[in-house]
Copies of this chain bind each other. A is one copy, B any other.
Amino acid sequence: MKSEIIAVGSEMLTPFRQDTNSLYVTEKLNSIGVAVAFKTIVGDRQKDLVSAIRTALGRVDILVLMGGLGPTEDDLTREAVAEALSLTLRRDATQVAALHARAATWRIAMPQNNLKQADVLEGATLLPNPNGSAPGQWLDTTFGGYRKLIALVPGPPHECRPLFDAECLPRIRAVAPPRAIAVRTLKAAMIPESQADKLLAPVYSAYSDIETTLLAHAGDLQITLICAKPDAEAARQRVDELAEGLEEILEDWLYSSEGDSLEQIVLYYLGLRQATLAVAESCTGGLVAQRITSVPGASRAFLGGAVVYSDALKTSLAGVPAALIAKHGAVSAEVAKALAEGIRARTGASVGLGITGIAGPTGATESKPVGLVHIAVCDPQGCDVLERTFRGDRQRIREWAAQQALDMVRRRLM
């Protein structure tokens, strides 16, 4: 069965805001074997909305409309579905009472306009919305002689998502042909982008029953395998078989077979080794610390560190000898190593990480280009030191450097 998602709202046709609910709803639809064939974004104009709804009903079986259910004049989704399907709207007395009760709780006078939210499409079921005033609606109907399922769900993510899960997904599952979906997500770090697909494509393209998606960003590669089959065990086996083949190629670029983030894996290895980590960051300016501390429970193995943007702080907070900076320059292998060793000594961490580089756009010298980064990881057994030159703008260079640094810690702990 094919589906379409229509996101309703003029703000999503500006350069400033993007629909994100559809990613969530897509994942949920895929999980019950329903593919999304089209996504449409349309503004708050009834004529445009009617056109989008009719087009969708002409090409898919399941239509999810997100947004346009609120109380304002701009909220036209109910009216547009009514027009597109020549249905009447009736005002539901129970719903009117509920809206009055809600307004009373909030001790506010209810504007007359609010009652729009009690308008129900002919033949539709109201879907309770515990997180907002506008209920969803569910319509099991026909269009052009074919059965069509239509879900109207509110736009705000904290209303849309739970309502879709609780009310829409079970209703679609009951109608969609039973299919089991197996999903695996592999993650790899710092594999050269030009090599990844060249190495992996010959393997995954032999699995035409598995949808393989590669997503690469600043040294992080996510490979998602999705297989839908009537039989759950068969789907799982196929996905596991392909995952094994890809893992073999990825070798130690692979850091997770279960979709974990690199920072989660670093914390996992730290726990396994009963080790602790501290960082001294210059060009990444707190990016590594921020990634690690985004993981709940990071405090068990991550002590903290220093953001040593100025040379003076490299000395005062991370114990890098001023003479070393004067001799080799702040961006050098020697200073990276001194940062890693210094922050270890200062904090008592078992593993120290030091990063220094030129994120740009300024700061380059004749011998040291923008993008040059030195990274060192030290533990009681010694140090790994790496020099890389990353390309891109300031943001990209910082992201690459942080990724490379975390990957070096992972490899050191492995």
Contact = CB atoms under 8 A, between A and B. Distances in A.
B303 A313 contact: yes
List the number of copies, as a whole number: 2
A302 to B, nearest CB: 6
Contacts of A222: 16
A224 B16 contact: yes
A307 B305 contact: yes
A307 B286 contact: yes
A256 interface: no
A393 to B, nearest CB: 9
A308 interface: yes
A39 B40 contact: yes
Nearest to A308: B304
A226 to B, nearest CB: 8
Contacts of A302: 309
A18 B16 contact: no
A296 B394 contact: yes
Contact of A14 (B45, B51, B213): B213
Nearest to A20: B18
A285 B294 contact: yes
A24 B17 contact: no
A296 B282 CA distance: 14
Interface string A285-302: 111111011101111001
A361 B312 CA distance: 36
Nearest to A288: B286
Contacts of A20: 18
A93 interface: no
Contacts of A42: 37-38
A296 B38 contact: no
Interface string A1-35: 00000000001111111101001101100100001
A45 B394 CA distance: 38
A316 interface: yes
A231 interface: no
A323 B287 CA distance: 31
Contacts of A290: 284-287, 289-290
Contacts of A176: none
A188 interface: no
Interface in A228-256: none
A219 interface: no
Given A59-B48, A317-B347, A14 B26 contact: yes
A43 interface: yes
A59 B293 CA distance: 49
A306 interface: yes
Nearest to A299: B309
A195 to B, nearest CB: 15
A264 B242 CA distance: 48
A41 interface: yes
Contacts of A113: none
Given A14-B213, A213-B11, A286-B287, A303 B312 contact: yes
Given A38-B41, A304-B308, A305-B306, 4 more contacts: A278-B313, A296-B362, A312-B347, A317-B347
Ranked 9 nearest A-B pairs via Cβ: A285-B293, A286-B286, A286-B289, A15-B27, A286-B290, A304-B309, A39-B41, A289-B307, A304-B307
Interface of A: 11-18, 20, 23-24, 26-27, 30, 35-43, 45, 48, 51-52, 55, 59, 211, 213, 215, 222, 224, 278-279, 281-282, 284-290, 292-294, 296-299, 302-310, 312-313, 316-317, 346-348, 359-362, 394-395, 398
7 contacts: A13-B39, A14-B211, A16-B222, A17-B213, A285-B304, A304-B307, A317-B317
